[in-house]
Amino acid sequence: MNHRFLTIISTGALGLASMFATAQNPIVRDQFTADPTARVFNGKMYLYPSHDIPSPIESLKEWFCMADYHVFSSDNLVDWTDHGMIITQNNVPWVRPDSYSMWAPDCVYKNGEYFFYFPSAPKGERRGFQIGVARSTSPTGPFMPMREPIKGVNGIDPCVLIDTDGQSYIYWSGGGMMGAKLKDNMVELASDPVRIEGLPDGFKEGPFVFERKGKYYYTFPWVRKDTETLAYAMGDNPLGPFEFKGTIMEESPTGCWTNHHSIVEYNGQWYLFYHHNDYSPEFDKNRSARIDSLEFNADGTIRPVVPTLRGVGISDARRHIEIDRYSDISPKGVKIDFLNPDNKFDGWKSSFSKGGSWVRYNKVNFGEKPVKTVSARVKSSAGGTLNVLVDGPKGKKVASIKVPKCNDWRVVSADIVGDAPLGVHDLVVALQNGRVDVDWVGFDALPWTAGAMTTGRYRNMFAEAGYSQAEIDAKLAAIYDSVFHGPNKVYFEVGDSMAYISDIKNHDVRTEGMSYGMMIAVQFDKKDVFDRLWRWCRKYMQHSSGDMDGYFAWSCKTDGTRNSQGPASDGELYYITSLIFASNRWGNDTGINYLAEARNILDKSMLKTGHNRVAPLIDVNHKLITFTPDRWGGRYTDPSYHLPAFYEVWAKWAGDNRSEYWLECAQASREYLHKCTHPVTGLNPDYSNYDGTLLGRNGIFGDAFRFDSWRVPMNIALDYSWSCADGDWQRAYGNRIQDFLYSQGIDDFVDQYNVDGSTVERIASAGGKTKLRHSLGLVATSAAVSLACTDPKCYEFIHKLWNSGHQPYDDGYFDAYYDGLLRLFAFMHLSGNYRVICPAGNSSESI
């Protein structure tokens, strides 16, 4: 809602104011993904893994622990999308909800439906594992689990083969390696189970069966000696007999006891999906999916596959290339270590310690346009020089990067020498002298090419601008303290268990500020602050019955008396996202079930039908957030409410079986931002129609770039940082709006414009004062958008924010609330501390 004025309307009306991953191994970078079953549907690869988690119960601390399933997709095997949770142990009628035994699954398509097969421990007196089925009309769900498991199938690791004649077969392990025909309904056996014959002695599990050129391949993990290999047999019939042929992949060189796999053809190439404990070297029950290419001999036998870090696919030279996922490495002088041993999802680094040592990374596409520079993220206690070559350690040198002595990570660059490489080449990074740690390298590297929901990485642009980490930490802490505890604080505690954030100048408490405060609290790991704010919201602001049940009164007095009954959609947007993050960070058994609270808001919003003028937060026709979810504010939207990455968070962790819908909302929101921002200035109106056009009303508020609009640059920066699903446009937008503000004078641009950049005819007042200002809030958000900018002048905006103070303007006006909160958010963004909070707190690192 708009922060600068307050209008109260009578009861019954509304008061208003205001993850892809790369084909480097492992392929999913923000969670464990074991037992990867890959399937091709409609020309796209889908991945159905199990989901290892740290055990919440003592009995499984040293064993496999899996509570749900996610599905991922890719059309190039390089960029992967997490479509969120599709099944959980809590929503399957026959599964014991505290069993944590959602082991290796499979999914197939037949008769217009997708059938998802999964094992788990049943309720009641039944022991062992059974295998159930969930059905959907989409490969990403929502899936509806059947009430009972498949009769006659007792075991784990289901695999389903649909033969060329249409007959379906199911395979599993349990009491031996078993198989049977399925009825055409895909949920009942059509034959008695048979034991698969012709396999070697020793422990076996995890069958995966496929057909190629009239031969049937029965593949399986097999313990030949100490740990599991991947082995196979071949036959002429789906249920055998089979003839054992040997191994596909040998035992893990690092001792991961299990391996589980699938083999699929995609665009003419066969691939082996398997898992390894890359992110959990000390505990092999937490595993991660990998891909490598697979080839056949002329006689149909399978060539052995050697596991690689490099994985598959061609890497873009203009993206950040993590050379620690190398194709080859020199025998001495380079060591691969975790960037952050306390959070291994942050990834790895290559530590060069000896001159002449090198790392080779194959298949890098330099394109048809010559690159001009190479950049690397580095750290060095002594300084050094890195040589960048193509086509081998003795190949052509294309650049030398001088690395200064630096104890903190920083990005350094060098110009390309001679003719730049074109097309696809192997890349080599070699140490000439000194000692240097390398995170990534990239050519003409864009500021971001994959979002943090995939990479777990966040830019620290203050560090890039030359400030030390100690300075950054101290500055961020001081700004947080000023907002929450200083003499101009906006946070006030009430009794032993509650607190509120007040818009001081308007003497009220708003869902905007309360939800902002909760987001800040969960980002800073301030559980007591978060819980206090939420309890105040629940007690005084949230409706618990009636047409507005689940929504929040957007404005209250500081004693809790409501100024308006109606909601403002941005508050609910932040409430839901911050509650999901709280669930991921602190769990749901510490007094507040955060996830249940988020789901309650979502579910009750989606049940609104327009009765008594109350509607869903998201306009169902446009899939865009409403200004206010009612008949009046539901006719248009506010550009500053658009945070597409928030919907991706909902899709991933809300667990409400609406993942696809939320992803569609994210896409619609990005498309809307293209329409509502001016193509030259980058400015947007405070409010607009759903097609991005101006409302065209004569009132002072709505069609101009004013107070609400300040948030848009920072919101687009957040979407760029977290998702980067619209990177090309967002980079152009960031440059465009900074260009306009720079043209007005970096110390002089004002806080209100028409969207074409012309001067407003009427000035909106703030705090009772009517004046154009060089407002701190806009200084903050125009600096935050630097995350997406490619023009070097973005650092001038960053320096201006760093050196800005928070004090009264020359006319005496002072805004502790809006200016203060936006300033804090901007410092969080630019220091790499506004993060996607994953389960168990894996929010990863700033770079």
The angle formed by the CA atoms of residues 420, 424 and 427, to the nearest 5 degrees, is: 70
Cα separation, 391 vs 393, in Å, equals 7
φ, ψ for residue 845, nearest 5 deg = -120, 155
347/359 Cα distance (integer angstroms): 17
3-state secondary structure of 702: coil
CA 708 to CA 203: how far, in whole Å? 63
Q: Which of 63, 60, 64, 80 is nearest to 72 (CA)?
A: 80
For residue 132 the two structure tokens come to: 């159930």
Task: Tell me if residue 760 falls in helix, strand or coil.
Answer: coil
**Which residues does residue 95 pair with via DSSP β-bridges, in sequence order?**
122
Cis peptide, bond prior to residue 207, ω within 30 of zero: no
Residues 6+ apart with CB under 8 A from 59: none
In 3D, which of 464, 436, 474, 525 has the Cα closest to residue 840? 525
Q: Which strand (E) or helix (H) includes residue 341? A: none
Tokens coding 401: 């990067």
Catalytically annotated residues: 512, 708
> Please, how many CA atoms are within 13 Å of residue 205, restricted to the half-sphere of its CB?
16
At 620, give phi and psi (nearest 5°): -70, -25
Q: CA-CA distance, 117 to 158, in Å (whole number)?
A: 6
Amino acid at 229: T
Nearest to 36 by CA among 104, 121, 131, 86: 104
Alpha-carbon distance of 554 to 204, in angstroms, equals 60
| H helical segments located in 679-789 | 711-722, 727-743, 776-784
Report the C-alpha gap between 602 and 622 in whole angstroms.
Answer: 18
Three-state SS at 755? coil
Three-state secondary structure along 456-496? CEECCHHHHCCCCHHHHHHHHHHHHHHHHCCCCCCEEEECC
Of 552, 482, 564, the closest CA to residue 515 belongs to 552
Find tokens 């399957």 and name the residue. 92
The span from the CA of 152 to the CA of 181, in Å, is 12
Q: What is the largest CA-CA distance in the chain?
A: 89
As a three-state string, the secondary structure of 83-122 is EEEEEEHHHCCCECCCCCECCCCEEEEECCEEEEEEEECE
Q: Where are the beta strands (DSSP E) in 111-261?
A: 113-120, 130-136, 144-145, 156-162, 168-173, 177-182, 194-195, 208-212, 215-223, 228-235, 242-249
Helix (H, G, I), strand (E, B) or coil at 840: helix
